[in-house]
Amino acid sequence: MKTREMNEMDEIRIELKPIGRVETADGQGPFQLQIEEAYRPALQGLGSCTHAIVIWWADQVDEGDLVVELPYAPGVKSGVFANRSEARPNPIAITTCFLLNVDEDAGTVDLAWIDAFDGTPLLDIKPYLPMSDRAMDAQYPEWLDGFPESMEDAAAFFSDPQNAAKFS
């Protein structure tokens, strides 16, 4: 593999091509990805997956501070590289989503939930593959003690009004 050294004077040109957009009614659902017609063939086979990693551009969030107070851990601050804040140097965001339905012809992917705004540009979709995406012995910061350990547990955790109130 070839590598090259970069210095401050190097210019990098990056082009992103949105493949579609997120559609949601005020974050309350239904949640759907609308795929541009040119990219719909890429949906082939996705319907056989239960989860996907959705990569999106947080275009409706201004770049913020590099250190932020965590909304889910009051009084705790961390750098944006240690949390999931949308306000980052490059607002690339990811959400692991439960897939409800994939319609290749219509170019739609129905989701159980996604934390993106209506109209958010969609950059990519990748299947969630446990052999690549799951770490059995992951370590978490102390401020996450007491949080659910999975997406499935998080749904029940945050539907409890007492837990939801702590982190809103």
- Using a pLDDT cut of 90, give the percent of the chain over it: 50
- Domain assignment present for 3: no
- Domain assignment present for 4: no
| Count of domains observed in the chain | 1
- Domain assignment present for 66: yes
Cα–Cα distance for residue pair 40/17, rounded to 1 Å: 14
Average pLDDT over residues 124-136: 93
41 close to 102: Cβ distance less than 8 angstroms: no
Average pLDDT over residues 45-63: 94
CATH number at residue 152: 2.40.30.70
- Domain assignment present for 146: yes
Q: Which has more confidence, 31 or 165?
A: 31
Res 37 pLDDT > 70? yes
Strand (E) positions, the chain? 20-24, 31-35, 51-57, 67-69, 77-79, 92-103, 108-111, 121-127
Res 64 pLDDT > 90? no
- Domain assignment present for 84: yes
Res 125 pLDDT > 80? yes
The range of the structural domain enclosing residue 67 comes to: 20-130+140-166
Report pTM: 0.85
Res 1 pLDDT > 60? no
Average pLDDT over residues 50-67: 91
- Domain assignment present for 13: no
- Domain assignment present for 6: no
